[in-house]
Amino acid sequence: MSLRLGDTVPNFTQQSTHGEIDFYSWAGDSWVVLFSHPADYTPVCTTELGTVAKLKPEFDKRGVKVIALSVDDVESHVGWTKDIEETQNTTLNYPILADADRKVSQLYDMLDQTNINKEGLPLTVRSVFIIDPNKKLRLTLTYPASTGRNFDELLRVIDSLQLTDNYSVATPADWKDGDDVVIAPSLKDPEVLKQKFPKGYKEVKPYLRLTPQPNK
């Protein structure tokens, strides 16, 4: 299946380094970042898994659970985990899904049919999915094998999604938590604007109005 933004992501039950995981039950009412890898013992992915382990307190603060996926089995993941912890000087504090049967990769449309392993199976592309508490897909990105993912950017996107879900605003280019935000163009009534944005706003253009971040 091809997932689009706003779609309900499919559930699955799969083995992991933390035991069997029913995805919906595991996610609960949290946000989730699911990020995939084409194989164990790959250099770029080793650095990524270590980086996410170090950033886990930042994800926790935002009510976000993180979970990785690789196409190898749990035994292989356990061996790779030792390498990750040794080389990245951290403890792997979240699960890695085992997807040797490609079940999850197929559900989430992550199979690269042009890249086949020695067993004749397609590899999984390096995708990221941000999923909200309603199990809706809010962001997806796919990276080339040579480029490590920017997890600070994913935290920034989560900050934006959580803010804009609760307030009638959008976040401009290069926005970071605490910066001014953009008032939704649909809001035009002066009394409504005064009520929603008591700190005031700056009208750059009628369609471009900046206001201090409402929850700061």
Q: Which sequence positions are flagged as catalytic?
A: 45
Q: H-type helices in 89-208, by residue range?
A: 103-107, 151-166, 190-196
Which among 177, 143, 147, 182 has a CA at the least distance from the CA of 160? 177
- The angle formed by the CA atoms of residues 63, 69 and 70, to the nearest 5 degrees, is 160
Give DSSP secondary structure letters for 44-86: HHHHHHHHHHHHHHHHHHTTEEEEEEESS-HHHHHHHHHHHHH
The rounded distance, in Å, linking the Cα atoms of 36 and 34 is: 7
